Amino acid sequence: MTGLSLRRLKALCWKETLQIFRDPSSNLIAFVLPVLMLFIFGFGINLDSAKLRIGVWKEDSGPAAEAFVAALTASPWLEVDSFESRSATEKALIDSQIRGFVVISEDFSRKMESHSAIAPVQVIADGSEPNIAQFVSANVNGVWQIWQAQRAEDRGEEAQREISLEPRYWFNSSAESRNFLIPGSITVIMTVIGAMLTSLVVAREWERGTMEALLASPVTRAELLLSKVLPYYVLGMISLLLCVATAKWVLGVPFRGSVLALCVVGTFFLLSVLGIGLAISTATRNQFNAAQAALNAAFLPAMMLSGFIYEISSMPPLLRAITHLIPARYFVSSMQTLFQAGTIWRILWPDILLLMASSALFIGLTAKLTKRRME
């Protein structure tokens, strides 16, 4: 069915807008949830390693051992506790009071003195949390190397100094994970507004019988579809700009792209998720089912498979292939470009084109599913 009456479309959009502002649950999803999520991702989730608590069990009391422990204690990345026995140290690790511990054996100082012998240091970490275990081992290792280099220097043996690494992080110079997480979390927020909210509203119309009343009126299919897309598109864009503004001025995340580019990328991503949400609710006609489906089809993939938290390049090939089907993936990469690098159209274009294709796909699917009848 074709035909479009501006009066009818305007009336439907106005009704939708009134409902968004009056319904407490829509309000919650549209306005409260985004801010809440932004702050959770901004402050709550942090992939950077903070100070790690470790233990030291010293069997040797020679000067070298004392000096090494002092070096560990002085490290800004470590907080060092000492215990009265080895078993107490082990117990502390088992009880998760410490993340790992260093054992300095009784012949440590003696071996350090003699140039020929190797002085071993044992590092034990909690392997059940591999990420942290690696941090423990790397940090202790780093302290060890600096300490040795310094000892050599003190003795005037400059030549022994190893290659020193001075990393510089481009685009995110302080390597703060927040700068990387915020663009990704905006993706999740847009998904919630686009897919969850819209999937609920159409299903609600079916449940409350208002859809039946609409279908019995002269409304056309195009009007019905547009009246759901337009208000939520506007709502989503406002939310997007609000999120970016909050990220930049409240959370202090640098935004280096242009607003125009943001709007272009945002538009096509929003249309994709709106399409998913509408297709789901048109097919389920039931709020509970729609929420379940939207959670699985839009929200979880946006969380897990978009590259927002888990790096796509380190996924197994099958999962990596699946990520190509998820619109959020392209939006995450565009957002990270816009936030951290700037408006680089050469990089943005492929993502934009793919988002355009997915919007066309999902909106088209909804149009196909939207029937002018109740069947």
Partner 1 sequence: MSEVVVSFREVSKSFKGMEMPALDAVSGEIRTGRITGLVGPDGAGKTTLLRLIAGLLEKDSGEIATLGHDPGKEAAEIRERVGYMPQKFGLYEDLSVLENLTLHADLRNVIGQERRETFDRLLEFTDLKRFADRFAGKLSGGMKQKLGLACALLGRPKLLLLDEPGVGVDPISRKELWGMVEDLVSQGIAVVWSTAYLDEAELCGTTLVLNEGKLLFSGTPREMTAPLEGQCYQLKNLSSGKRSLLTKALARPEVSDGSIQGHHLRLTFRKGEKLFSPDVIGAGETAEWAAVRPRFEDAFIDLLGGGPSGESVLAKHVRAIPSDDEVVIEAQNLTKKFGDFAATDSVSFQVKRGEIYGLLGPNGAGKSTTFKMMCGLLLPTSGKASVVGLDLRKSAGKARQKLGYMAQKFSLYGGITVQQNLDFFSGVYGLTGQRQREKTGEMADIFHLQPFLKSKTDSLSLGYKQRLALACSVMHEPDLLFLDEPTSGVDPVTRREFWTHINGLVERGVTVMVTTHFMDEAEYCDRIGLVFRGKLIANGTPDELKAMVATAENPDPSMEDAFIELVTGKENA
Phi-psi region of 156 (alpha: psi -120 to 50; beta: other; left: phi over 0): left
Instruction: Choose between 205 and 351: whose C-beta lies nearer to partner 1.
Output: 205
Query: Applying CB under 8 A, does 374 fall inside the site for partner 1?
Result: yes
Count, residues near partner 1 per rule CB under 8 A: 28
Instruction: Choose between 111 and 221: whose C-beta lies nearer to partner 1.
Output: 221
Residue type, 128: S
Provide the token pair at 32: 């409260």
Q: Which of 44, 156, 167, 218 binds partner 1 (CB under 8 A)?
A: 218
Positive/negative CA dihedral, 280, 285, 287, 288: negative
- Cβ at position 208, least distance to partner 1 in Å: 7
Question: Residue 316 — φ and ψ, nearest 5°?
Answer: -65, 155
Instruction: Choose between 114 and 210: whose C-beta lies nearer to partner 1.
Output: 210
Instruction: Name residues whose C-beta falls within 8 Å of residue 146's C-beta, 6 or more positions apart in sequence.
Output: 71
Instruction: Choose between 12 and 119: whose C-beta lies nearer to partner 1.
Output: 12
Place of tokens 């790397």: 138
Could you give the string, one character per residue 1-30, with x where binding to partner 1 holds by CB under 8 A and - elsewhere?
x---x-xx-xxx-xx--xx--xx-------
Query: Applying CB under 8 A, does 210 fall inside the site for partner 1?
Result: yes
Query: Applying CB under 8 A, does 280 fall inside the site for partner 1?
Result: no
Helix (H), strand (E), coil (C) string for 101-166: EEEECCCHHHHHHCCCCCCCEEEEECCCCHHHHHHHHHHHHHHHHHHHHHHHHHCCCHHHCCCCCC
- Cβ at position 215, least distance to partner 1 in Å: 6
Terminal Cα distance for the chain, rounded? 16
- Cβ at position 218, least distance to partner 1 in Å: 4
Query: Applying CB under 8 A, does 219 fall inside the site for partner 1?
Result: yes
Residues that bind partner 1 (CB under 8 A): 1, 5, 7-8, 10-12, 14-15, 18-19, 22-23, 208-210, 212-219, 372-375
